[in-house]
């Protein structure tokens, strides 16, 4: 049944995820230096926190991953994972990172995360590159502290709130109301400079096309 990529797995194949609960519930996770330390206001050891989130998220149908995976031996396989706590914690952690890290840090960290995951999946835990990547990841996590609020219902999961003392988000800058402190007139010069190379490149392309058309027209006359 599981090997058939077009068949839905039966509900009795899952231990933690339940499918008969239509209620909605909220979960608040608190992180310190990238590590989850509290759930719903209760500080607890990481193993207990994972168990708490696993039970709560699983009871609301959250936590199934069903995808086609590329194995190291060269074949594709259909894999189904049941991991409510992992799905929720990772989602909350990524959202908090978006709030406290710069866009440049986030862009590069996506590359690092992908490479780190590939090394671990491939059994290369002892490779020096993995430990080097750890140092970068650890450095980014020093600011990943705060709280994330999630809403779960019938298998769906979404972040509905977040806060952090290291937040780069500023309401007075992001707001579109008259109270905004962002000087929008500065954008004009920035946009012109930011797109300058693109403007020049397009100008050269138009000139080249014009010359090509002239040469082609002359040859065919």
Give the pLDDT score at 221. 45
The span from the first CA to the last CA of the chain, in angstroms, equals 68
State yes or no: pLDDT of 22 exceeds 60.
yes
Give the pLDDT score at 180. 62
Q: Tell me the pLDDT tens digit for each residue of 58-112.
A: 999 999 999 999 988 889 999 999 999 999 999 999 999 999 999 999 999 999 9
Neighbours of 51 (CB within 10 A): 14
| CA angle in degrees (0–180, nearest 5) for 160-51-142 | 60
Q: Which CATH number among 3.40.50.410, 2.60.40.2890, 3.50.50.100, 3.90.1260.10 corresponds to the domain 11-184?
A: 3.90.1260.10
Q: What is the DSSP letter of 12?
A: G
Which residues have CB under 8 Å from 181's CB, separation 6+?
A: 172, 173
Three-state DSSP at 15 gives: coil
Inter-CA distances, 216 with 109, 211, 212, Å? 49, 9, 6
């Amino acid at each position: 049944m599981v090997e058939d990529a077009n068949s839905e797995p039966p509900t009795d194949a899952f231990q933690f995820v339940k499918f008969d609960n239509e209620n909605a519930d909220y979960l608040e996770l608190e992180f310190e230096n990238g590590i989850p330390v509290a759930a719903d206001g209760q500080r607890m050891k990481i193993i207990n926190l994972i168990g708490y989130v696993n039970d709560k998220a699983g009871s609301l149908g959250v936590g199934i991953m069903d995808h086609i995976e590329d194995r190291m031996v060269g074949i594709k396989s259909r894999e189904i994972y049941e991991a409510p706590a992992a799905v929720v914690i990772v989602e909350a952690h990524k959202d908090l990172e978006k709030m406290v890290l710069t866009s440049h840090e986030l862009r590069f960290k996506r590359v690092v995360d992908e490479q780190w995951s590939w090394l671990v999946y491939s059994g290369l835990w002892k490779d020096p590159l993995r430990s080097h990547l750890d140092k970068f990841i650890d450095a980014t996590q020093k600011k990943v502290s705060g709280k994330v609020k999630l809403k779960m219902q019938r298998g769906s999961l979404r972040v509905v709130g977040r806060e952090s003392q290291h937040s780069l988000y500023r309401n007075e800058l992001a707001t579109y109301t008259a109270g905004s402190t962002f000087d929008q007139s500065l954008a004009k010069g920035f946009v012109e400079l930011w797109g300058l190379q693109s403007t020049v490149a397009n100008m050269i392309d138009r000139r080249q096309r014009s010359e090509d058309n002239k040469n082609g027209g002359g040859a065919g006359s």
